[in-house]
Amino acid sequence: MNVPLAPKFVVIDDFLSQDLIAALDDLARAGRHAMELNELGGAPGEAYSALRKLWVRDGALGALEPAFRSAMMGCFERLCADTGVASFEVARVETEVCAQRPGSYFAKHVDTDTGELSKSLKTDRLISAVFYFPHEPLAFSGGELILYDFTGKVAAAQIAPARNRLVAFPSFAYHEVTPVAAGEDSFDAARWSVNCWFHRARKSEPRAKADDRKSTH
């Protein structure tokens, strides 16, 4: 489907080794008690405050963080090229483990922070990536990632959450996750993923020279 103003994106299947995926499975199983329900009603005019319902655990990769980060950084230049984002120095790699159970969804939004919160941040998200590791055979339906054109009005791509699949796209592209349905409401049947964001540091404001400073007296 040819959609004008559609964001570029990349899908990489068989992304991680089977050993690392098995370790992620063990991590998810052991950390279920720490998963927190994130349910929010969106505020008009604030794109990142989109309606959502999912279970998350920020920074929950623990001992697997170095290996996962290494895998992500190993394909960073490809992600830049394939998403159309100019290469940049990565200031931060942000991750969260996410589980979507029956009724979970994430309405259309962008991953870049907006409003007052944005003013205090030292870095900006430029590339968003999702790594899927649900159990197979899949015990759920739905949960597809839909990417929209840059107007946010026209659906440009729909990507299924297959195990060992990585998807990346510009963080400023509109996207949503369709509702998840399953016969069993459990973490075993959930749509498991690691959400990941590559951050670029903001340029610091140059200090004014002494001669340029205006007197306040």
DSSP string over 85-102: PPP--EEEEEEEEEEE-T
- Give the model confidence (pLDDT) of 63-114 as tens digits: 999 999 999 999 999 999 999 999 999 999 999 999 999 999 999 999 997 6
Pairing of strands 52-58, 145-148: unpaired
**What residues does 157 pair with on adjacent strands?**
147
Distance of CA 105 to the CA centre of its chain: 14
CB distance 111 to 197 below 8 Å? yes
User: Among 51-55, 155-159, 175-179, which stretch is predicted with the lowest mean pLDDT?
Assistant: 51-55
pLDDT of 44 over the 50 cut: no
Residues 38, 52 contacting (CB under 8 angstroms):
yes
Give the Cα separation of 211 and 208 in Å (integer). 8
Average pLDDT score over the chain: 89
Question: Above 90 in pLDDT, residue 119?
Answer: no
Q: Of 56-70, 77-91, 147-161, 183-197, which range is least confident?
A: 56-70
Given a cut of 50, whether residue 199 has pLDDT beyond it is yes
Residue 48, pLDDT above cutoff 90: no
User: What is the pLDDT, as a whole number, of residue 115?
Assistant: 65
Average pLDDT over residues 25-29: 92
The pLDDT value given to residue 43: 45
Tell the residue number behind the tokens 């050993």, with chain if given.
Answer: 19
Lowest mean pLDDT among 109-113, 158-162, 209-213: 209-213
pLDDT over 60 (residue 206): no
pLDDT at 117: 65
Omega before 206 within 30 of 0, i.e. cis: no
